[in-house]
Amino acid sequence: MAGIRGKLAVVAAAALMTGLSQVHAQDAIRLTMGTQANPTMSIGPGLTEVFLPAVQRHGQGRIKVEYHGNGALCSEQICVEQMRLGQIDIATVSSGNVGAFGTTFDIINLPYLFKDNASAERIFSGWFVDELKKRSEKELKMHLIALVPVGGFRNVVTVKKPVKVPADLKGLKIRVTKSPTEFNLVKAWGAAPIPYDWSQLYEGLQSGVVDGMYLQDTFTVSGKFTEVVRHITQVDAAYSAHPVLMDLERYQALPQWAQQALDQAGADLMAKAFDYDVKWQQQAEAAMHGAVQVYEPTEAEMAQWHKGAVNAWVSVRGTYDPALARRILEEQGQTALLQELVAAKAL
């Protein structure tokens, strides 16, 4: 009898495991992710080494994410468009190019909003991302899974002539993203801002369609632009971050456990993202040595860059919440900039 009971128990256990496997198979959710992230960018390994495994872990293997990186499926803006149409489920896009869909993330692009990487990390780790999640759902109808730093601060990059002060940009065509903040900043500095597709930028610099760009050192290196540009001016203006997004209706259609798994994976990604990004910035700095001429403006020259930045804030007034911007500046002790912005009626 004991032997029969043992065999019955084994059969019952096997049946239970088979049943559970069938349930898990039935419950499995398949999602498609499109991104331009690649292994040379901080967000690339962040997604593949942290986010995707975390989705598996928190979803207990019931969420299968089909990952298409390196622009294999779509470019940034197209990825978001496909996500909104239900052709893919998750997309990443820069805080600059997401401006084509609304102003929710434009505040990130405001020049000198963040003092440095450490300040940005502190702000991102607190209330700021929660606030953007609420606004993204209300204003863009998109769910923010994560907001990760990508590349550090934007600098002025030129092909032919060195630039020390904004006046040196007169007559130059400088590539910007779809962000109205970037457009107005470069315009306030005296250049002609040109929104230009990323995939064509290398050829555009070679042919003279654009004379330079407003870009982070990390992307200047990873895009191999050091082969065609010669000068970088370290203005350290706007910070760069990439939201990881999902169409709100698609997200809300998921069972609660799947929503929680994605959000927990997003939190895991944000907890590691700054380490990845700072390392990438350091690698770019080393790679630029000897490849381009880097100019660091004097204190008096930086004052001229800051003046243009204040004008840019004024130009895009209405695209950002002044109270939100004020809180960010106050938490970093950016008193001087805050006073300038108030005097200019930007806040």
Q: Per-residue pLDDT for the chain (347 aa), expressed as one digit of tens each? A: 444 444 434 444 444 444 434 334 457 899 999 999 999 999 999 999 999 999 999 999 999 999 999 999 998 899 999 999 999 999 999 998 898 899 999 999 999 999 999 999 999 998 999 999 999 999 999 999 999 999 999 999 999 999 999 999 999 999 998 888 889 999 999 999 999 888 899 999 999 999 999 999 999 999 999 999 999 999 999 999 999 999 999 999 999 999 999 999 999 999 999 999 999 999 999 999 889 999 999 999 999 999 999 999 999 999 899 999 999 999 999 999 999 999 999 99
Angle between the N-to-C axes of helices 180-188 and 299-315, in degrees from 0 to 180, rounded to the nearest 10: 130
Superfamily of 16-343 according to CATH: Bacterial extracellular solute-binding protein, family 7 (3.40.190.170)
pLDDT of residue 11: 40
Torsion angle (degrees, nearest 10) of CA 124, 130, 135, 141 = 110
pLDDT of residue 177: 86
pLDDT of residue 198: 83
Supply 298's token pair: 């004097």
Q: What is the 3-state secondary structure (H, E, C) of 286-331?
A: HHHECCEEEECCCHHHHHHHHHHHHHHHHHCCCCCCHHHHHHHHHH
What count of other Cβ atoms lies within 10 Å of the Cβ of residue 296?
12
Supply 202's token pair: 């290398």
> Among 344, 278, 76, which residue's Cα sits nearest to residue 197?
76
CB 178 within 8 A of CB 77: yes
Domain boundaries, the chain: 16-343
Look at the block and give the residue holding tokens 């060195």. Answer: 162
> Among 189, 225, 155, 133, which residue's Cα sits nearest to residue 305?
189
pTM of the full predicted structure?
0.85
Supply 221's token pair: 């290196």
Query: Which 3 state secondary structure label does DSSP give 232?
Result: strand
pLDDT of residue 133: 97
Question: What values do phi and psi take at 329, rounded to 5?
Answer: -65, -45
Supply 170's token pair: 């007169």
> Among 347, 343, 94, which residue's Cα sits nearest to residue 238?
94
- The torsion region of residue 70 among left (phi > 0), alpha (psi -120 to 50) and beta comes to left
Instruction: Give the Cα separation of 120 and 106 in Å (integer).
Output: 15
pLDDT of residue 323: 95
Supply 263's token pair: 């959000």
CB 31 within 8 A of CB 73: no
Which distant-in-sequence residues (6+ apart) come within 8 Å of 161 by Cβ? 168, 172, 231
